[in-house]
Amino acid sequence: MAKRLMEEARNVFRAHHYSYRTEVTYLKWIKRFIKYHDNRPPRELGPAEIQAFLTDLATRGKDRLTILPESLIPHLEQQLDVVRGLLARDRERGREGVSMPDAIGRKYVNAGLSWRWQYIFPSRKYAFIRSNMGRRRHHSHPSGQCLTQLQAPAMQQHGRACFEV
């Protein structure tokens, strides 16, 4: 049963030209989901079982649990407002938005101007992106300078950094 499901899933992924790494990852998630439900036949599993699996991941698992000190939330919200302002300006000026992975940029042409693809710490300047021959906004330097600036008020309050770069 499960072998047939995995083979069918693999065929679908390949028909849609998913990358090999994506295929392997998705197959692992399918196996994990089935195993979580004691190897019950997949046709017996529905929305309630999906909800239970995702709830377990979020509450017990380590996949999506993130601790953010409450003292940083106002500063993070302020940074997101800055990003919204940059995005609005980019749209007004007819810019291309943030740099995108090549395949996603080709598939979703306007994704660079979509809120969900914006960097939390974007560069203030545009860079020439050779792969698409365009000027796009990239993320800030990986040194974490912007993150350090976000941490500064919390460090003053607590006397230490709340999270590491």
pLDDT tens sequence across 62-79: 555 566 677 888 888 888
Q: Is residue 163 part of a domain?
A: no
Q: Which residue has the higher pLDDT, 94 or 148?
A: 94
Over residues 29-40, the mean pLDDT reads 91
Q: Which helix H or strand E contains 125, and what residues bound it? A: strand 122-129
Residue at 72: amino acid letter: L
Band (pLDDT 50/70/90 cuts) for residue 156 is: low
In this structure, how many other beta carbons lie within 10 angstroms of the beta carbon of residue 146?
20
How many domains does the chain divide into? Answer: 2
DSSP 3-state assignment of 154?
helix
Are residues 100 and 123 part of one domain?
yes
pLDDT tens sequence across 82-139: 889 988 988 898 888 887 777 777 788 888 888 888 888 888 777 776 666 677 776 7
- Which sign, positive or negative, has the C-alpha torsion 47, 3, 62, 18? negative
Domain with residue 50: its CATH number is 1.10.150.130
Average pLDDT, the chain: 77
Q: Is residue 53 part of a domain?
A: yes
Q: Is residue 164 part of a domain?
A: no
pTM: 0.47
pLDDT at 144: 47
Q: Which of 34, 59, 84 is the last residue of a domain?
A: 59
pLDDT at 148: 47
Determine what percent of the chain is predicted with pLDDT higher than 90: 15
Q: Is residue 64 part of a domain?
A: no
Q: Tell me the DSSP string of 96-121.
A: --B---HHHHHHSTTGGGSGGG--SS
Q: Is residue 65 part of a domain?
A: no
Tokens coding 99: 């740099």
Domain that holds residue 9: 2-59
Are residues 95 and 22 part of one domain?
no
Separation CA 117–CA 139 (nearest Å): 11
Are residues 91 and 13 part of one domain?
no
* Nearest partner of 36 among 47, 23, 50, 24, judged by Cα: 50
